[in-house]
Amino acid sequence: MAINPYHSHLGKNAANHTALSPLSFLDRAADVYPTHSSVIYGEKQFLWQQTRERCTRLGSALSKIGIGKNHTVAIMAPNIPPMYEAHFGVPSCGAVLNSINTRLDAVTVAFILEHSEARVLIADTEYSATVAAALATLNNPPIVIDIEDTSHGDRLGTIEYEEFLQTGDPDFQWITPEDEWDAISLNYTSGTTGNPKGVVYHHRGAYLNALSNITGWEMANHPRYLWTLPMFHCNGWCFPWSLAAIAGVSVCSRGVTGAGIFDAIKHHRVTHLCGAPIVLGMIINTDAAQQFTLDYPVKVMTAAAPPPAPILQSMEDLGFHMTHVYGLTETYGPAVMCAWKTEWDTQGAEDRAQLKSRQGVRYQVLESLAVLDPVTMQAVPRDGTTVGEIMFSGNIVMKGYFKNPEETDRAFEGGWFHSGDLAVMDPDGYLRITDRSKDVIISGGENISSIEIESTLYAHPDVLEAAVVAMPDEKWGETPCAFVTLKEQAQASEKDLITWCRDKMAHFKCPSRVVFTELPKTSTGKVQKFRLREQLPNK
Amino acid sequence: MAINPYHSHLGKNAANHTALSPLSFLDRAADVYPTHSSVIYGEKQFLWQQTRERCTRLGSALSKIGIGKNHTVAIMAPNIPPMYEAHFGVPSCGAVLNSINTRLDAVTVAFILEHSEARVLIADTEYSATVAAALATLNNPPIVIDIEDTSHGDRLGTIEYEEFLQTGDPDFQWITPEDEWDAISLNYTSGTTGNPKGVVYHHRGAYLNALSNITGWEMANHPRYLWTLPMFHCNGWCFPWSLAAIAGVSVCSRGVTGAGIFDAIKHHRVTHLCGAPIVLGMIINTDAAQQFTLDYPVKVMTAAAPPPAPILQSMEDLGFHMTHVYGLTETYGPAVMCAWKTEWDTQGAEDRAQLKSRQGVRYQVLESLAVLDPVTMQAVPRDGTTVGEIMFSGNIVMKGYFKNPEETDRAFEGGWFHSGDLAVMDPDGYLRITDRSKDVIISGGENISSIEIESTLYAHPDVLEAAVVAMPDEKWGETPCAFVTLKEQAQASEKDLITWCRDKMAHFKCPSRVVFTELPKTSTGKVQKFRLREQLPNK
């Protein structure tokens, strides 16, 4: 049989095929917009041609000390220019970027450095104490490059970041991936139990999710993006790469405060920012003297925990335009979006917030998103009540867990990535998270969503933050116990809040206890419910 | 030596890898926006769930008659719903879409049908005479499916398109590509000499350029896109797929007129349209009774020939927002864009139009764009005067020419796609086309750009259209000869126009003759200069 002509002499060659890599976005930004702002940090302001030069020097300097393809380069830095540059400079020599959460303790940092086999660690001296303690425990510590910015921690390495850049060649030829499946970064999950797992991203996924952030959030060219989301979190949800693709400005800062956010909006005309609900809380609770209602809309993307409707509402009242996304480290950050429909505009404020607090639908570049029964792997009905596990498939799902074949296989069982998050599917095909599998409260055989209770508590005017966990109960098996932080000067009592809940929810769902306390959080702002379980009151 | 851990157990699987295909955009649009408008055509209006169903039925119906992977399905239709549906329905059964230019003659149509090995031809009865004549010459004519829309041409097939859809299963499982390098479409170039060449696109390129249209043109969700650009032209520059990705509305019509465009803007609040300068000419020259200044900006993307600055200016004066792009059939349509810079906003109108008439910089998903000396393959200096050939490399360059290894190899020589277009590179990295290689006029050893002369002529208030070709000259080798169409009631003489040019250009560049005539055009609106050369006056 003759060969099909579509299979004849129509193959890949240098002219018609290139491995996808977000590095190409930096090159284009610097070619097309060489003198436009790329990164702003305090008094410093870089242009795209400078950012490309600095990233190229970084790649070259790393290359000169023997770093290349599939070598790990770790970084521990706040949202400052070197952190942005690392997202291009490290891959530009073929290496893999391992951003380490700056809030981790020395033991965990040591675990990550050892497990990732990092050959180089670029570390801001703010974290010297932690880093020194971590390095002390390692047999093969990485080469350390210190970032001496405004902090005055100890120098641990032999060279400072800016000096190191000077050793690099500005004309260094990038080592772009031969295969877009090559690793670009390694991000350790902030597990609440057990050792963190190393999630490996490839150039292809980074490229595609960078574009999908733009199309999904309807971003025009030259956004002025404020870094409130830590770049160490899923590579800043791929936004360092998105911003290069559309020549946006990164407004950097070492730390995030409500006043700082309003200040940046005032001075830099910020157009976009991302953040967990903790950031929204900062904004809403900013001192009246520093807070103001915006005179143009600032777009905010929020994720991490389902934002309670009252918080979404308060943000909109201040003039922020909220978009709710959902994803995991394993899905390059956001992979699900509560795509807004104009027909919802006419609904009441509360209904709108309720609609928006749902997780939503798949990103344009995510192939499939489903809520499946994890046993039968069948989709749950679109009834808004049947709970299943959220599963993903597509090009923005990780390569796998680094050096962890068992967990990788478990995560990909049945051809889907298992998120571990439970959700229902609403009749309109928007999914709504009910809980992490392990956070469901089972009381008298009924599943109770901790999130539903938390949302009810958040609606109380005195409540600043709330988290609900299961408390063992002789009669019911479990009952909900609420941990609550009140706003300053607020007075609500345990009884007040229980009554508030009983007025609004089925009684079996109401917390039987309310404990007033600060909520322990992971470094990415998620409430650490396992800690709360350790603090359960004796009933 | 131990295997690098990044190469261990981090491979592709069903959960983390899918072949890129624009089919996925249709699925998402129908899932997320099932009841939003997808296609509007006169009184007909389809929703996304209906468009998905119709495309799925088309794929199924084709599959039932034996069409599958790597089979060619041709279509000859105006910009009506079946044409849009073919962009998804045909690939959904694994087949390759071959859209045939509806303005071609029977001999060329027959050549294409035979060369493409089309097994099915979906044809609007408007073209029955041509199609019948073409089919009569074929040994193995394709199965014909007639579209009986508003035209009353002869039925040539045994089944009508709507009936054919009814034979399809709405639950048909799409045959998505196993490899994103698989062919999705086959587009024959409208060559000015010789047989047309069949340009093969793959799913990967279609997907990427669909996204790049969105990011490059800064398109938000739900654009209302008027089909003035023929969909048979480079698959409508990939916009059928872009529109699915952002759930935009396709406003269809069988033909394009200036009055029709203004009417569509009035009734459908069109936000975007694309077109060659001929479409711009229609808009500008619309009767005053039907023309109006827009009360909101309509974005227009134009290409095909470098739009003369005065035309760009007239469009902007009417309220259209112009974006100038450039590309070839071989680059999935637009692959180069005159990316606008806000700092140009403050320039004078003429300077702005001049800046905008340049072709510009590469699309976000195009890897490399260069102006090279075709002999040395070295980049020309960025001096705005040294002429070289425009070359492309990247993922939106065709797979190659169908059944034409020699032309494919020639096109890709040296690892670049050779466009055949000549350009200079301006100091800011924006390229500017000077001519097709064969359109350069060489007079007394000097290269003269026909485009420069044409632009000068277009600036004359009496000139509607102008094209310049080389005329043999005993003394100088060649001199420019201009062919001009005057506006209605305009009076300019040959002498007036030559004087006009001599006032504005070096004298050796000025036309030595001006011929007043209608300009012959290709079916895609390009002036057929070879025809003009046949009409050169005896000097």
B13, B181, B361: residue with CB nearest A415: B13
Q: Which of B1, B6, B417 to mutate to test the interface with A (most CBs of A within 10 A)?
A: B6
Are A181 and B70 in contact (CB < 8 Å)? no
In tens, the pLDDT along B43-66 reads 999 999 999 999 999 999 999 999
The average confidence (pLDDT) of chain A is 93
In tens, the pLDDT along B109-131 reads 999 999 999 999 999 999 999 99
| Residue predicted with more confidence, A331 or A520 | A331
| Spatial CA neighbour of A176 closest among A332, A17, A325, A406 | A17
**Residue B326 to chain A, least CA–CA distance (Å):** 16
Same topology between domain A256-436 and domain A440-534: no
Q: What is the Cα–Cα distance from A60 to A253, expressed in whole angstroms?
A: 26
Q: What is the Cα–Cα distance from A378 to A21, expressed in whole angstroms?
A: 35
Q: What is the Cα–Cα distance from B530 to B536, expressed in whole angstroms?
A: 10
* Amino acid present at B126: E
Name which of A43-57, A191-205, A207-221, B132-146 the model is least confident about: A191-205
A25, A361, A405: residue with CB nearest B32: A361
**Segment A205-222 mean pLDDT:** 98
Predicted local distance difference test score (pLDDT) of residue A52: 98
DSSP A290: T
| Residue predicted with more confidence, A33 or B195 | A33
In tens, the pLDDT along A469-500 reads 998 887 777 889 999 999 988 999 999 999 99
Q: In chain B, whose CA is at the least distance from the CA of A403?
A: B5
B6, B16, B96: residue with CB nearest A183: B6
Which CATH topology does A48-203 take?
Answer: Rossmann fold (3.40.50)
Predicted local distance difference test score (pLDDT) of residue B194: 66
In tens, the pLDDT along B150-164 reads 988 999 999 999 999
B8, B221, B339: residue with CB nearest A32: B339
**Residue A49 to chain B, least CA–CA distance (Å):** 13
Are B14 and A403 in contact (CB < 8 Å)? no
Predicted local distance difference test score (pLDDT) of residue B437: 64
Predicted local distance difference test score (pLDDT) of residue A448: 78
> Is the model's pLDDT at B436 over the cut of 80?
no
| Spatial CA neighbour of B87 closest among B226, B205, B235 | B235
Alpha helices, H only, B375-489: 405-411, 450-458
Q: Which residues of A touch B181 (CB under 8 A)?
A: 12
Q: Which residues of B touch A341 (CB under 8 A)?
A: 33
B221, B362, B395: residue with CB nearest A28: B362
In tens, the pLDDT along A64-78 reads 999 999 999 999 999
Considering the four listed CATH numbers 3.40.50.12780, 3.20.20.80, 3.20.20.70, 3.40.190.10, the one that applies to the domain covering B256-436 is: 3.40.50.12780
Q: Which residues of B touch A214 (CB under 8 A)?
A: 214-215
Are B393 and A18 in contact (CB < 8 Å)? yes
DSSP sequence for B322-388: EEEEEEEGGGTEEEEE----GGGTTS-HHHHHHHHTS-BEE-TT--EEEEE-TTT-PBPPSSS---E
Domain B51-213 top-level CATH class? alpha beta
Q: What is the Cα–Cα distance from A250 to A80, expressed in whole angstroms?
A: 9
Q: Which residues of B touch A116 (CB under 8 A)?
A: none
In tens, the pLDDT along B360-416 reads 999 999 999 999 998 999 999 999 999 899 999 999 999 999 999 999 999 999 999
> Is the model's pLDDT at B525 over the cut of 80?
no
Q: What is the ipTM of this complex?
A: 0.89
**Segment A99-111 mean pLDDT:** 93
A508 confidence band (pLDDT: 50, 70, 90) = confident
**Segment B277-288 mean pLDDT:** 90
Q: Which of A4, A16, A185 to mutate to test the interface with B (most CBs of B within 10 A)?
A: A16
Q: Which residues of B touch A117 (CB under 8 A)?
A: 5
A8, A215, A393: residue with CB nearest B246: A215
Handedness of CA B209, B210, B215, B216 (dihedral sign): positive
Q: Which residues of B touch A395 (CB under 8 A)?
A: 16-18, 20
> Is the model's pLDDT at A8 over the cut of 90?
yes
Q: In sequence order, which residues have a C-beta less than 8 Å from that of residue A27 and are 6 or more positions away? A: A52
- The 10 Å Cβ neighbour count of residue B478 is 18
In tens, the pLDDT along B304-337 reads 666 777 888 899 999 999 999 999 999 999 999 9
- The 10 Å Cβ neighbour count of residue B497 is 23
B445 confidence band (pLDDT: 50, 70, 90) = low
Q: Which residues of B touch A4 (CB under 8 A)?
A: 70
CATH homologous superfamily for B440-534? ANL, C-terminal domain (3.30.300.30)
> Is the model's pLDDT at B230 over the cut of 60?
yes
| Spatial CA neighbour of B416 closest among B381, B385, B371 | B371
Are A32 and B429 in contact (CB < 8 Å)? yes
pTM: 0.89
The secondary structure element, H or E, covering residue A160 is strand A159-160
| Residue predicted with more confidence, B83 or A421 | B83
Q: Which residues of A touch B73 (CB under 8 A)?
A: none
Predicted local distance difference test score (pLDDT) of residue B152: 83
Between A and B, how many CB-CB pairs are < 8 A? 160
**Residue B197 to chain A, least CA–CA distance (Å):** 14
Predicted local distance difference test score (pLDDT) of residue A528: 84
- The 10 Å Cβ neighbour count of residue A49 is 16
Are A11 and B429 in contact (CB < 8 Å)? no
> Is the model's pLDDT at A526 over the cut of 60?
yes
Q: Which residues of A touch B7 (CB under 8 A)?
A: 70
A308 confidence band (pLDDT: 50, 70, 90) = confident
Q: In chain A, whose CA is at the least distance from the CA of B208?
A: A208
A147 confidence band (pLDDT: 50, 70, 90) = very high
What ranges do the domains of chain B cover?
51-213, 256-436, 440-534
> Is the model's pLDDT at A193 over the cut of 70?
no
Predicted local distance difference test score (pLDDT) of residue A531: 87
Predicted local distance difference test score (pLDDT) of residue A414: 95
Measured CA to CA in angstroms, residue A446 lies from A480, B180, B287, B309 at distances of: 12, 47, 71, 71
Token pair recorded at residue A29: 């930004």
Are A215 and B215 in contact (CB < 8 Å)? yes
Token pair recorded at residue B363: 């699309």
